[in-house]
A and B are shown apart, each in its own frame.
Chain A
Amino acid sequence: MRGLWKLILVELKLYLREPAATFFTIVFAPMLLLLFGTIYGNKPNPFFGGRGMVDVSVPSYIALIIISVGFMGIPVATAANREAGVLRRFRMTPLRPEAYIISNIASYYVMTAIGVAALVVVGKAVYGMKFEGNILSVWAGFTLGSLAFFALGYLIAGVASTARIAQAVGMIAAFPMMFLSGSAIPLEVLPQSVRNISRFLPLTHVVTLMRGLWAGEGWAEHLTEVAVLGGVLIVGIILSARFFRWE
């Protein structure tokens, strides 16, 4: 695994040099929080079980960051690197394919985590956001959700023949999910008919899991979410490995 750390650092630097990627990963969710926080404040609300709008939005927006990295960042970047011939140049070195993929995933994971940290800092500093959960649990749930969606992102890159197609597929899959899963708009606000559809969207399970763990619920109450996301992760890994191409 020679060069692995170096490659992770380089990938992080490159990520930060992409203004659009950096914006959607780090700036967008905190901005949204400030926007809605300004409008609605964070007063306890029976509608959200006695929590405030911000208390509920922060864990939901984590899902928003995850999907924007997984469905909009990863597919385009991966397919574009393949298309341009970047991947075949790396292949001509002794670097193992596993090392390349691991560094890639690690850099996305770190960037997503930085986005979450920015969101939490804004929630805490500006709105005194409530956190009733266990940090390790939340971190584990975040990791499960991220990796499941990253795997789907690599799958999109693998099946799309070009970067443009990867971008279109990623967007088409991401947008409805953002609005119907409760990540951008709280599930409580959505009509029952939409919530019936929501149950079938993997992102909804990230939202439910994050909100639950955030509020201090135990894993036992979220076996469905864990099973769904675990399933998505495993199937995603198998399929994305099957469809992965260097050129």
Chain B
Amino acid sequence: MTAIAIDRLHKSYGDIRAVDGVTFEVSPGEIFGMVGPNGAGKTTTIECLEGLRRPDEGRLSVLGLDPQRQGYELRERIGVQLQESSLPDRLKVREVMGLFAAFYRRSADSAALLEQLGLSEKAGAAFGQLSGGQKQRLFIALALINDPEIVFLDELTTGLDPQARRAMWDLVKGVRDRGKTVFLTTHYMEEAEKLCDRVAIIDHGKIVALDTPRNLVASLEAENRIVFSVEAPVDEAPFRAIQGVTRVEQSGGRIIIFGREDGLLVRVVMALDSAKIRFRDLRTEQPSLEDVFLALTGKEMRE
């Protein structure tokens, strides 16, 4: 049984091929993320799954239902947070929750949801008076109001401060731990890496990689990096000689040592010490999804 199956989805707007032959499956109980730069086709894909946009080609199945023909049944069972939507400015938070709860056969405890999302104090506030991040959290609460089997979150943490973002990750993990499936999009690589069980990297409407974050990073076979600053230029030769070092780069007082073997850090620090080189800001960097994206598309993933 798969929660979501999507087979050769195509969707164009005029000449723009927004989604160009996307295929994947999502299993029940996983957090599945789509990452990619602006305009990659994430929203188009997620809104086709929600039944909001009509695919040009391809077969979609969500909980075994066709989003176009069985949309009402589907919407009873899924929760949706749209990248772009709004509510009447003068509607109060509490009224929003009560109203949306009334649309569904099942409903979750809306006071508890507001509490979880840190909105209890705002229950009496009008939607128009909420800050951007508070609105975002209210939309997440709405996505959970029918205790859905699958939650679709399009850019769930855009507009949230770092603390709220962490809290949101915990919330999403909690949703998964209660047996629900989560389908989300993001352009934060860090978010995809920390939150998702599996990640699809999408660029120009095509999936360029799909796996667990760990496997994606491992598949790169990329080196770890040791980075530090020095006051004056140094001779690179002693570092090249260290066992496991593959490459050394030096520019503007910053030195990056690339290598793969365990114990590299200790050997580098010992070499620094014996050469009496004064250094600052030493840190190690592991390859991340960011590097995967760079390797696969040849460009930096930036907002």
Contact = CB atoms under 8 A, between A and B. Distances in A.
B281 interface: no
B103 A95 contact: yes
Contacts of A191: none
Interface of B: 50, 52, 72-73, 75-76, 80, 82, 84-88, 90-91, 95, 98-100, 102-105, 139, 142
| Residue from A7, A10, A14 having most chain B Cβ neighbours under 10 A | A10
A84 B86 contact: yes
Given A85-B82, A91-B52, A93-B75, A7 B99 contact: yes
A2 B72 CA distance: 12
A18 B126 CA distance: 13
A162 B234 CA distance: 64
B104 A14 contact: no
B87 A2 contact: no
A94 interface: yes
Given A14-B91, A17-B90, A92-B75, A3 B82 contact: no
Given A2-B104, A86-B85, A94 B90 contact: no
A13 to B, nearest CB: 8
A94 B86 contact: no
Interface of A: 2-3, 6-7, 10, 13-14, 17-18, 81, 84-86, 88-89, 91-96
Nearest to A9: B99
A89 B142 CA distance: 10
Given A14-B91, A18-B90, A92 B80 contact: yes
A96 B104 contact: no
B72 A94 contact: yes
A17 B80 CA distance: 28
Contacts of B90: 14, 17-18
A9 to B, nearest CB: 9
Contact of A89 (B73, B87, B95): B87
B102 A6 contact: yes
Contacts of A13: 95
Nearest to B77: A94
Nearest to A92: B80
A17 to B, nearest CB: 4
Contact of B99 (A6, A18, A85, A94): A6
B102 A3 contact: yes
Nearest to B71: A94
A89 B91 CA distance: 14
Contacts of A94: 72-73, 75-76, 103-105
